[in-house]
Amino acid sequence: MSVVAATAEFIVTIDGPAGTGKSTVAHRLARRLGLEFLDTGAMYRAAALRALETGIDPSDGDRVAALVRDLEIRFDWRRDPPELLVDGDAVGERIRTQEVTRAVSAVASNPSVRAAMVEAQREIASLHPRLVTEGRDQGSVVFPDAHVRIYLDARPEVRARRRVEQLATKGIIISESEVLAQIIARDHMDSSRRDGPLVCPKGADVVDTSDIDIDLVIDRLEEIVRARAGSALRGPFGGAGAP
């Protein structure tokens, strides 16, 4: 298989609410395109983890923002999936605990923290300019001029079921009703915050994943990128991302 021409910047953004499969989809799409995968949700979780570990209240935006600016957050793209490193420490599944999940909304909803994280994400993109990046504000705020902007959506009950199944594979048992309540609350918080609210980016292609198998979702996104890319890409997609 051929790979994407590795010359100029090329960014694909994938936005959407929690539980739509953005991380999984973005990772697989990046591999297919031969691009690198920027998991911004993991970056916010890393900030929440470090705040908890250092005794900082996750709702203290100024202190968490200062923490973010002091951290070295990067990805090791030689690994698949990419490994998130914070000050050289591989944080792994520690950012996926329920404690971090409960704290991350307060971290991600604070304007000061978001401003610091936008700086960090753009800095990563300046060093690795050929990316598939996912999050809540990638196409609307962080990379509004991205070549391709996609918005993934799914019904809340579908997202809750997926999350319960995902946690069960890791030995974490939680009721679907509890997860659904968390998702509804998270959607409201993300959509109503003043800074970087969850919105469908202008000009984005909307894909509802509620009733679509993940393989078909990847195929659909590839079709969108093919149609939108124009001369920014040359040749068929394929291959793994660069290290």
pLDDT digits (tens, 9 = 90+) for 158-202: 999 988 998 888 888 899 999 999 899 888 888 887 777 889 998
Confidence of residue 232 (pLDDT cuts 50, 70, 90): low
Q: What does the DSSP 8-state code read for residue 55?
A: T
36-129 has the same fold as 11-17+130-221: yes
- Which residues have CB under 8 Å from 23's CB, separation 6+? 39, 41, 42, 134
Higher pLDDT pick, 163 / 121? 121
Determine the pLDDT at residue 231.
63
Angle between helix 214-229 and helix 22-33 axes, rounded to 10 deg: 50
List the end-to-end C-alpha distance of the chain, in Å, as a whole number.
18
Distance CA 180, CA 188 (A): 12
User: 240 pLDDT exceeds 80?
Assistant: no
Whether 142 has a pLDDT exceeding 90, the answer reads yes
85 Cβ contact partners less than 8 Å away, ≥ 6 residues apart: 72, 73, 74, 75, 76, 91
Angle formed by the axes of helices 111-127 and 61-70, nearest 10°: 20
Tens of pLDDT along 39-58?
998 999 999 999 999 999 99
Q: Which residue has the tokens 């990772």?
A: 27
**What's the predicted TM-score (pTM) here?**
0.84
**Does domain 11-17+130-221 correspond to CATH entry 3.20.20.80?**
no
Q: What are the extents of the domains in the chain?
A: 11-17+130-221, 36-129
- Percent of the chain that is helix, strand, coil (3-state, to 5): 50, 15, 35
State the average pLDDT for the chain. 88
Question: Residues with Cβ < 8 Å from 148, sequence gap 6 or more?
Answer: 11, 12, 13, 205, 224, 225, 228, 229
- Kindly indicate the confidence band of residue 61, based on its pLDDT and cuts at 50, 70 and 90: very high
The top-level CATH class assigned to 36-129 is: alpha beta
